[in-house]
């Protein structure tokens, strides 16, 4: 597949519980796509490098306390501050592989008890992913994988709630991949699904907005 200036890149988002394998799969996928000669970048949310991202990072590492609504809006603002760059890159033909996006935003905040529609509202108008790869694993299996780290949210009971709330967000852009399989099998499935979507975007699939 050769890069074509006329065609746009694909917005591919990875979602799933902590320790579902998102970060390793994103890394493997990006290397694979680069090897095929695609223009591709790896992004992640929260993007802790911006000033908003630093506030989020302090919250996640328990160095600061914030009201649940406030941190929700900061996560959203962190996506908004990258929105125009995201659009520019996609239109210039670069595929973006993104580790977490608005679905994490809504699933984690609703798991704390915030209203579903209220949580979705600030995401309206962000770029809709062409594909959401959901790495499906039970919270118990995820916890067995070397356990959770020390950040806020990395607790079994909370991950159970997140898992239930993720399921409410599933739409036609989602592909569920069984993340309990060996890593190589997950990788193989992910590559196939993603390549199909990259081709669809090159052929002119329209870029749309959340949540439609
Ligand atoms: N998280 C992530 C949210 O609560 N809302 C969001 O919008 C995003 C993008 O932040 F526990 C949570 C999910 C996770 C934590 O994510 C940090 P990483 O992938 O471990 O950096």
What does the block give as tokens for 123? 């995401």
Q: Is residue 138 part of a domain?
A: yes
Tell me, what's the pLDDT at 3?
46
State residue 149's pLDDT score.
79
> Which CATH number belongs to the domain containing residue 17 in this structure?
3.40.50.300
Measured between alpha carbons, how far is 148 from 161 in angstroms, rounded to an integer?
15
Sheet of 11-16: strands edge to edge? 40-44, 95-99, 11-16, 131-136, 174-178
- The pLDDT score that the predictor gives to residue 167 is 95
Q: Is residue 210 part of a domain?
A: no
- 70, 58 in Cβ contact below 8 A? no
Give domain status of residue 110, yes or no.
yes
The number of folded domains in the chain is 1
Residue 45 alpha carbon, nearest atom of ligand 1: 9
Using alpha carbons, list the distances in angstroms from residue 81 to 14, 77, 85, 107, 114. 20, 6, 8, 21, 23
Closest CA to 144 of 180, 182, 186, 94: 180
What separation, in Å, do the N-terminal and C-terminal C-alpha atoms of the chain show? 30
**Domain boundaries, position 51:** 11-202
Q: How much distance in Å is there from the Cα of 60 to the middle of ligand 1?
A: 8
Biggest CA pair distance of the chain: 48
pLDDT tens-digit profile, the chain (212 residues): 344 456 999 999 999 999 999 999 999 999 999 999 999 999 999 999 999 999 999 999 999 999 999 999 999 999 999 999 999 999 999 999 999 999 999 999 999 999 999 999 999 999 999 999 999 999 999 999 877 778 899 899 999 999 999 999 999 999 999 999 999 999 999 999 999 999 999 999 999 999 97
State ipTM: 0.98
Q: What pLDDT shows up at residue 151?
A: 87
Q: Tell whether 137 is covered by a domain.
A: yes
Nearest CA to ligand 1 atom 3: 105
Provide the token pair at 19: 């320790």
Residue of the CA atom closest to atom 4 of ligand 1: 108
CA 115 to ligand 1 centroid distance, Å: 18
CA of 89 to the centre of ligand 1 (A): 23
Any ligand 1 atom below 6 A from CB of 105: yes
Q: What pLDDT score does 38 carry? A: 97
Would you say the C-alpha torsion 182, 153, 49, 91 has a positive or negative sign? positive
pLDDT at 115: 98
Ligand 1: which residue has its CA nearest to atom 20? 18
> Residue 104 domain-assigned?
yes
Is 5 contained in some domain?
A: no
């Amino acid at each position: 597949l050769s890069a074509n200036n006329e065609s746009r890149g694909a917005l591919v988002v990875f979602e799933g519980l902590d320790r579902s394998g998102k970060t390793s799969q994103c890394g493997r996928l990006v290397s694979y796509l680069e090897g095929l000669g695609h223009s591709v970048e790896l992004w992640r949310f929260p993007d802790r490098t911006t000033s908003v991202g630093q506030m989020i990072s302090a919250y996640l590492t328990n160095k600061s306390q914030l009201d649940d609504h406030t941190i929700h809006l900061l996560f959203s603002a962190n996506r908004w501050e990258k929105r125009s760059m995201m659009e520019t890159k996609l239109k210039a033909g670069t595929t973006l592989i993104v580790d977490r996006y608005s679905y994490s935003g809504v699933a984690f905040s609703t798991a704390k008890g915030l209203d579903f529609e209220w949580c979705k509202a600030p995401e309206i108008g962000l770029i809709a992913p062409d594909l959401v790869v959901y790495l499906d694993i039970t919270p118990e299996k995820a916890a067995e994988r070397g356990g959770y780290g020390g950040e806020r949210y990395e607790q079994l009971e909370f991950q159970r709630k997140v898992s239930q709330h993720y399921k409410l967000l599933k739409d036609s852009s989602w592909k569920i991949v069984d993340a309990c399989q060996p890593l190589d099998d997950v990788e193989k499935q992910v590559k196939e699904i993603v390549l199909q979507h990259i081709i669809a975007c090159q052929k002119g699939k329209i870029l749309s907005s959340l949540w439609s």
